[in-house]
Amino acid sequence: RVQSDRTEDGFILDRGFAVFIEEYPSSKEILDYDALKLAKFDPAALIRINNQDSLCRIADPLRQPQHLVTTLFTRVGRTMDKIRLVKLLLTVVLKSSKRLFEEEETDTMTCLKKRYNFSD
């Protein structure tokens, strides 16, 4: 986390985020994982839309299939982009890591727009 902001209604919004991989050998030697009280996060996000009171949940359907229906029908994102996401998910699941890394390297936005036809 880089910075946190508190909204008027009490929510804490974190800016920036770091993922820590526990398997780094140097980290295992230097850090006391128990003392750090590391926590796991759901592969999901709660998104607030245009000053509405409720939050919309978006979840990774591969790791949290129980939230698939909620994610598909949330007010976040366009319906066609949610349909396009199926092609992306199938590609990731069905292709080997070797074949994925053989693809031309690009940034995420370009990949989503050019390879999978996502909207802006």
Mean pLDDT score, 24-46: 89
Mean pLDDT score, 73-102: 90
SS3 74: coil
Whole-model pTM?
0.60
Contacts of the segment 91-96: beta carbons below 8 A, 24+ positions apart: 92/62, 93/62
Tokens encoding 52: 């509405």
Tokens 């949610």 -> residue: 82
